[in-house]
Structure 1
Amino acid sequence: MFADSLQVKRDIQWILGEPNLLELPPVRKIPDDFWASISFNSYPEYEGSERIGFYYQWLIRLCIEHSKSYQLVAEEIQVFQDGRTLGAIDFIVRNPAGELEHWEVAVKFYLAYDRQWYGPNAKDSLAKKYHKMCSHQLAMTRTEAFQIQYPDLTITHHRILLQGRLYQGLWCDEPNDSTPANITNHCCTGKWCYAGQLPEIPTLYPLQRIQWMTAPVQDLCSPLNIQNTKRPLHCIDDSGQFWFVVPESWPDSD
């Protein structure tokens, strides 16, 4: 089991309270009335893939299924063209007006470096992810291929949910002048440092992937061993501050 019902409850509460990583125009955001329409009496356990993206999408599906006014129409449907896959659509949702909406969702964690926001795997960045969501993922329901395959699904709205956390360098006190420029400063709550800076900061405890969104409520595991930082590690300190510790070669190591 990847997540028990208590972890699922805490992660859903985090989703309900967190803004997008980017300030989006109203036509791109999930409407406020959707979040207000969600009600849970109990929370299931999660036994699916241990990749956090799959877990997050499952949590969003739970939210849709527990909405009083929005209806899940389709999830993860494939779009094909000329014998190849264009991609998969996260969600088709029916809104209270009876219109169909295309939603693309993701949870991401990015570190500020050289006026960019890079993932722990530095091949990924916030700018690249947002561009892909807008120009490719949301665009799939506008393609002729989609309209031929799914003639009964006429999409009227295209929306993005991109949540997560942004991490400033240890030496940085303010959000940097970065790309993209429309970041949500409320999400800049994490810190990151190189492994060689560990003696300068509080004791850190490595997190399991299931704990990336919300801090663990159980006792923390053993403190971080500096010898185990050959790859980026997600951690937390005694105060509840989230950290990434990266090898000295980051971001070039990826």
Structure 2
Amino acid sequence: MSEDAGSAASFEAPSAARLDALVDAAVRDIAWLLFSPDLLRAQRPPGVLATPFESPDEVAASLDWLEAQDADPAELHGHIAASRVTRLGRYAECLLGWFLKQGPAARLIAANVPLRRAGVTLGECDFLVETHAGRRLHWELAVKCYLHAGEGRGELADYVGPNLQDRFDLKLVHLLDHQLPLSAREEFASLGHRGPWDPQMFVKGWLFYRNGIAERDPVEIDPTHARGWWTTRAEWPSFSGTQADAWMLLPRLEWLAPRVRDRHHASGFVTGDALAQQLAQQTGPTMVAAFVERADGLWTERSRGFIVPDDWPERAQAFAREQTSR
């Protein structure tokens, strides 16, 4: 998890070794949500960044809590199973909700609070939380994976979802103009959650660059963000030889923290050539990860990226330039 341990607040970041020592996948994902770099810098109001911790003591206590969860994750696994999540965003909400209920930092007041007017749903507040100091915060959580499809323009619109149904500039506008202001609306006051609530955006994820070559980042993006690569199927044979010998397809719910596998799961690894055969059965972009073996026998993720159809770059550039009012 070392490439992601950038710190979620202004306090000193926890040691990469301590985070990397976490083994359980769900616990590592919670740690990644709390400590990985934000995708965005702070934006115009109300685009304040969420800070999960108020003090170094809360950081230290949260690390202790994560290690305890890692030693005995049964209750966490039961919570995830009961939630029956199938979407990445809901999975992330499930994990962050568990931390807010069970962890030593801010406490959960309410989650997924719907806001309605005349029977019409205006939106849903992801999390209402209260800090130990008494601050009442409205968090909007987003976990995103965007591929850079531009040609050096340095614009947020150049970052597109792998299936070309989402774009970073549109997501940011929706956050700033619709989601974050929900808790300040007149209709919200009638729900009984005493305010005022300070809105904050909790935006995590990965940005992927063609063949791992980073472009000039837009000013909105945090320069420490988690990075990956993307390549076309035609380019894959030459690209894969520079990465690793062991590869694995990553299901959608494994798109958060860098993965760790023990020797019992090593049978799921394939060579670059075998992975190419698996990709022949895929119709769209596919996330894969390269693994290396550690001295203790664990396999850890070295890098991750998307392999896309050969016509994807042209379609992605068109989508990035599409004028839309969404």
- Fold in common (TM above 0.5): yes
3-state SS of paired residue (1:235): strand
Partner of residue 29, structure 1: 50
Q: Name the SS for the 2:37 alignment partner.
A: coil
Structure 2 CA distance for aligned equivalents of residues 237 and 69 of structure 1? 34
Unmatched segments (≥5 aa) in structure 1: none
- Contact 1:167/1:189, CA 8 A, preserved across alignment: yes
Q: Does 1:228 align with 2:252?
A: no
Partner of 1:173: 213
* Matches of 2:106 and 2:217, distance apart in 1: 38
The alignment's C-alpha RMSD in Å is: 2.4
Structure 2 residue ranges without an equivalent (≥5): 1-22, 293-301, 320-326
1:10 is matched with: 28
* Higher fraction of helix: 2
TM-score (norm 1): 0.86
Match among 73, 83, 86 for residue 122 of structure 2:
86
Q: 1:234 to 1:152 in 2, by over 3 A?
A: closer
Q: Given residue 77 of structure 1, which amino acid in structure 2 is its aligned partner?
A: V
The 8 Å contact of residues 205 and 226 in structure 2, kept in 1 or not, is answered as no
Distance verdict in 2 for CA 1:177–1:18, change over 3 Å: closer
Aligned to 2:6: none
Deviation at 1:31, TM superposition (A): 4.7
Structure 1 residue 188: Cα displacement: 4.4
CA–CA distance in structure 2, aligned partners of residues 241 and 144 of structure 1? 46
Look up the SS of the partner of 1:138 in the other structure: helix
User: Mean alpha-carbon deviation: is it higher for 110-119 or for 39-48?
Assistant: 39-48
Instruction: Measure, in 2, the Cα distance between the counterparts of 1:238 and 1:99.
Output: 42
Within 5 Å, give how 1:1-254 maps onto structure 2: 6-24=24-42, 27-33=48-54, 36=59, 37-38=61-62, 39-40=65-66, 41-42=68-69, 43=73, 44-45=76-77, 46-47=80-81, 48-114=84-150, 115=153, 116-148=158-190, 150-170=191-211, 173-178=213-218, 181-202=219-240, 204-213=247-256, 214-217=258-261, 218-219=265-266, 220-222=268-270, 223-224=274-275, 225=277, 226-239=279-292, 240-250=302-312, 252=315
Contact 2:183/2:197 (8 A) holds in 1? no
TM-score, normalised to structure 2, is 0.69
Whichever residue aligns with residue 184 of structure 1, its letter is D
Q: Percent identity?
A: 25
Structure 1 Cα separation of the partners of residues 165 and 49 of structure 2: 26
What is the DSSP-based 3-state SS (H/G/I as helix, E as strand, rest coil) of the residue aligned with 1:9?
helix
Shift of 1:18: 0.2
Aligned residues: 246
Equivalent position of 2:17 in the other structure:
none
